[in-house]
Chains A and B, each alone.
Chain A
Amino acid sequence: MTAPQPSIVIIGVGNEYRSDDGAGIAVARRLRALFPSGVTILEESGEGAALIQAWQGAAWVMLVDAVRSGASPGTIHRLDARAASVPTGFFHYSTHAFSVAEAVELARSLDQLPAHLLVYGIEGENFAAGVRLSPVVEQAVEAVVERAAEDVRAAGSP
């Protein structure tokens, strides 16, 4: 029933029908092409309990989601969630109120954080219904894919 637990897990979070909210999903899909094996790459809506379940048992986890923190669109945020708490409110543009930040902090409360948890946030511009990323977000997605690939290689993947 339960799949064998992989050591490296990348989770793209978001809704591809909400324009820039699909940034995390776009990163996950491009990383899947770069790492066809050796890394587990998942897509999630951002519902927090499902995120905790998705990283259960993994040693090294990366989350990628769209954010709106007030920075200029396309800004890339990179947080080591083991080292510092994720500001709630940071990921408000995920579809659900119990989302990425809440999942990380709840897991911290329950001592269920993975040993390594890296969070990328891509500052979005447009979260209205739609299936296209804004050009500036599209560029940020490309940049995150490159940096994330380096992170994965540094973590010891093929």
Chain B
Amino acid sequence: MKSKTIKVDYLARVEGEGALLVKIKGQQVTDVKLKIFEPPRFFEAFLRGRKFHEVPDITARICGICPIAYQMSACHAIEDAFGIKITGPIRDLRRLIYCGEWIESHALHVYLLHAPDFLGYEDAIRMAKDHPDDVKRGLRLKKAGNEIVRLLGGREIHPINVRVGGFYKVPDKKEFSALAEELKWARDAALATVRWVATFAFPEFDRDYEFVALRHPDEYPFNEGRLVSNKGLDIAVREYDQNFVEEHVSHSNSLQSRLKERNSYFVGPQARYSLNFDKLSPMAQEAARSAGLGPVCRNPFQSIIVRSVEMVYACDEALRLIEQYQKPDQPAVDVEPRVSTGYGCTEAPRGICYHRYRLDDRGLILDAKIVPPTSQNLKTIEGDLWQFVQTHVLIQKDKLQWQCEQAVRNYDPCISCATHFLKLHIEPE
């Protein structure tokens, strides 16, 4: 019987690196393995014995794309341990800086990593030759997100102004005026992005996913909420470890997460959207509808539309937060260490990012656990590949490889969170 193997040792345009192997015997998929080499165990070990106030700056270094997500989850976990709840303008500024990170991360993925798949280019460099104005719009959108992070974070990568309890310093209201003007442009550009990506052709694909995201009674989730799913999960963040488990799988040095009671689950923009459509701003909802999306989106190839809708929301929400901002009297609340364990989970651009810290009475870290979003999506990505390849087994192999890579990129896997990089080739068995 004729068999073939798709082996992808360097998966281009995925943040970081990893490897993908798909085996087909006759017309039957016999194996799918997505190899991710390394979870952030180095950082968990590196954090032990450190003071609590060092944690946001250290965890920000785990990923160059989503430092805010790691900082926010770390801050919330440690504040949970110390019994602190952040409210008012400091809480709003945290939402605002998160808007910045979503805008920059989504703009990067939509324009430079994912759009070339749909327009038939090998990469954004080649796409830019034919579509320079689209690429420039993507770069300027990304920069608008960067400007938010720079203003609040102190620096655009590895921001240094975020601390447990709030910020080291907070801006005056007037410092936001130039940013607000750029964000009005960005919101229009995000709406144009939704219109642009809605014209792409999407492969037919649908699975019965379990979406998992935060849900908050009053807002689209960034920093707070309960962990919910479309299959009955509804838990507090501190119940995460009772409901989710990370497992070593034989083909990977990484860990794969699954729900203890069921199995694989799906985190990220599409899960957030499908569980929180009613909390999007009217403008973002309208943009989604006009792009042909319903309140639930189960085709992962359409995630590029969902990311674009979330960019509209993030610009809209950022403008709302800036509009109502009043500078707080203090940039942070006082923090008093105590012996405790704290739990934090926030919505990174790629999905929930879970942190747990055990601390002693001086605020030293005794034990740390960090679960990045990408390791939570690995099982789901493998599941997609099984189904996708099985239903497209007769198409030409090079096209199939391209679409397999595209299917992985649907999840914007930030493999740098989980490992250093992803290698990929295709060769006949």
Interface residue ranges, A against B (CB under 8 Å): 1-2, 15-18, 43-50, 52-53, 92-93, 95-98, 102, 105-106, 109-110, 127, 129-131
Contact = CB atoms under 8 A, between A and B. Distances in A.
Interface stretch (B13-21, B216-224, B337-345, B373-381): B13-21
B179 A110 contact: no
B358 interface: no
Contacts of B14: 97
B104 to A, nearest CB: 8
B420 A18 contact: yes
Contacts of B108: 47, 49, 98
A98 B112 contact: yes
B142 A110 contact: no
Interface stretch (B125-133, B238-246, B288-296): B125-133
Interface in B1-28: 10-17
Interface stretch (B143-151, B279-287, B299-307): B143-151
Interface string B37-49: 0100111001000
A77 B125 CA distance: 23
B421 A92 contact: yes
Interface of B: 10-17, 38, 41-43, 46, 61-62, 64-65, 104, 107-108, 112-113, 123-126, 128-129, 132, 135-136, 138-139, 142-143, 146-147, 151, 156-158, 178-179, 182, 416, 420-422
B110 to A, nearest CB: 12
Contact of A95 (B11, B125, B136, B416): B416
Given A50-B146, A102-B125, 4 more contacts: A1-B151, A17-B46, A49-B108, A93-B421
B179 A1 contact: yes
B128 A49 contact: no
Given A48-B112, A98-B108, A106 B178 contact: no
B113 to A, nearest CB: 6
Contacts of A92: 10, 17, 421
A53 B146 contact: yes
Nearest to A101: B125
12 contacts: A15-B61, A44-B157, A45-B64, A46-B64, A47-B157, A50-B64, A50-B142, A93-B420, A95-B15, A106-B124, A109-B129, A110-B136
Contacts of B107: 49
B64 A15 contact: yes
Identify whether the interface residues of B are mostly helix, strand, loop, or mixed.
helix
A53 B157 contact: no
Contacts of A43: 157-158
B13 A97 contact: yes
Contact of A96 (B16, B128, B135, B138): B16
A127 B420 CA distance: 8
A106 B416 CA distance: 22
A144 to B, nearest CB: 21
Given A97-B16, A129-B42, A110 B128 contact: yes
A49 B421 contact: no
A1 B157 contact: no
A52 B135 CA distance: 12
B99 to A, nearest CB: 16
B132 A110 contact: yes
B112 A53 contact: no
* Most chain B beta-carbon contacts within 10 A, residue among A47, A53, A105: A47
A93 B419 CA distance: 12
Contacts of B46: 17, 131
Q: Interface residues of A: mostly helix, strand, loop or mixed? A: loop
Most B C-beta atoms less than 10 A away, residue of A1, A15, A92: A1
A16 B58 CA distance: 11
A43 B151 CA distance: 17
Nearest to A92: B421
A16 B42 CA distance: 13
A116 B125 CA distance: 20
B146 A95 contact: no
B123 A96 contact: no
Contacts of B38: 129
A48 to B, nearest CB: 7
Given A50-B156, A97-B16, A127-B420, A16 B136 contact: no
A106 B128 contact: yes
Nearest to B128: A109
A43 B159 CA distance: 12
B143 A53 contact: yes
Contact of B124 (A1, A46, A95, A98): A98
Contacts of B15: 95-98
Nearest to B150: A1
Contacts of B125: 102, 105-106, 109
Contacts of A2: 147, 178
A152 to B, nearest CB: 22
B56 to A, nearest CB: 15
A45 B105 CA distance: 14
Contacts of B129: 109
A53 B139 contact: yes
Contacts of B104: 49
Contacts of B124: 98, 102, 106
B223 to A, nearest CB: 23
